[in-house]
Amino acid sequence: MALSKRLSAIVDVVDSGYDEIWDCCCDHGLLGIELLQQNKAQLIHFVDIVPELMQALNDKLVRFATNEQCARWQVHCQDVAMISPDPNKRHLVIIAGVGGELLVQFLAKIVGHHPGIHIDFIVCPVHHSYQVRRYLQTLSLGLVSEQLICENKRFYEIIAMSASSSKQVTRVGQQMWQLTSKEHQAYLKQLCAHYQRMLNQDAAYYQPVLDEYSALLL
Ligand SMILES: C[S@@+](CC[C@H](N)C(=O)[O-])C[C@H]1O[C@@H](n2cnc3c(N)ncnc32)[C@H](O)[C@@H]1O
């Protein structure tokens, strides 16, 4: 199956220097399969919590993986928060396609359970990128890249963080914006309209968020 524009963009951001890559919340495993086919790491982990999905993915990999690939993948039917990366390896954890608030919970648990292990992240939340970025600012990781992808009229931010970068990630994605692009303008207007509406719920929290995004329009 052809990879979506969003998943292709994630694959393109993946550096080949990792020992192990974790495709977390992998669903049908399309992202991890592409990483396996492109030899992006010695070992690709597929993680999802739904047993039927993981059984089907396992069967598919057994059928289609080449001899050379057969020792280079593992399927884990488990909670992403409970992954157990080998402390002696260099890991990239990718979490895409889940809500931003849940994504922050996953990140916090993974980081909290494995202090001292080299884990870089690529994240692509569904909504709430501001909250995700605010959490990323608390980690000892720097920004590698950030980009905006528009797919089926939905917008996705892809944020890559690594211990090898010392660049500060910003809450609004300062480097991501190409404000001459109509798509970028549309996304920024959508965010401003959203946070404008949220003022009714908690103005003290949301006004500074709205101000930060609005400043990009100036
Ligand atoms: C929409 S899919 C995302 C698929 C793919 N990553 C993508 O970006 O297209 C979300 C997946 O997250 C999985 N998921 C949700 N909570 C999880 C958890 N706590 N641990 C592992 N997987 C989880 C769901 O089972 C589902 O397959």
pLDDT tens per residue, range 108-151 = 999 999 999 999 999 999 999 999 999 999 999 999 999 999 99
First to last CA, the chain: 42
pLDDT at site 1:
72
For ligand 1, atom 11, name the residue with the nearest CA: 25
Angle made by CA atoms 114, 115, 119, in degrees to the nearest 5: 70
CA 186/CA 206 separation, integer angstroms: 20
* Rounded-to-integer distance, Cα 143 and Cα 170, Å: 9
Query: 211-216, long-range: CB within 8 Å, 24+ apart, which pairs?
Result: 212/171, 212/172, 213/172, 213/188, 216/172, 216/177, 216/179, 216/188
**Which mutation among 49, 127, 159 tests ligand 1's pocket best, with the greatest number of atoms within 8 A of CB?**
49
Q: How many angstroms is it from 95 CA to the middle of ligand 1?
A: 8
Residue 218's pLDDT band, with cuts at 50, 70 and 90, is confident
Of all protein residues, the one whose alpha carbon is nearest to atom 7 of ligand 1 is 97
Q: What is the pLDDT of residues 146-187, one digit of tens each?
A: 999 999 999 999 999 999 999 999 999 999 999 999 999 999
pTM for the model stands at: 0.98
Torsion of CA 179, 181, 182, 188, to 10 degrees: -30
Annotated domain spans of the chain: 5-169, 177-218
Which one is the CATH code of 5-169: 3.30.1330.10, 2.40.50.140, 3.50.50.60, 3.40.50.150? 3.40.50.150
Structure tokens belonging to residue 164: 């090898």
- Distance (angstroms) between ligand 1 centre and the Cα of 183 equals 27
* Atom 18 of ligand 1: nearest residue by CA position: 79
CA 143 to each of CA 35, 124, 137, 153: distance values in angstroms, whole numbers, following the listed order:
21, 14, 9, 26
Q: Which residue has the tokens 């020992």?
A: 19
CA-closest residue to ligand 1 atom 8: 97
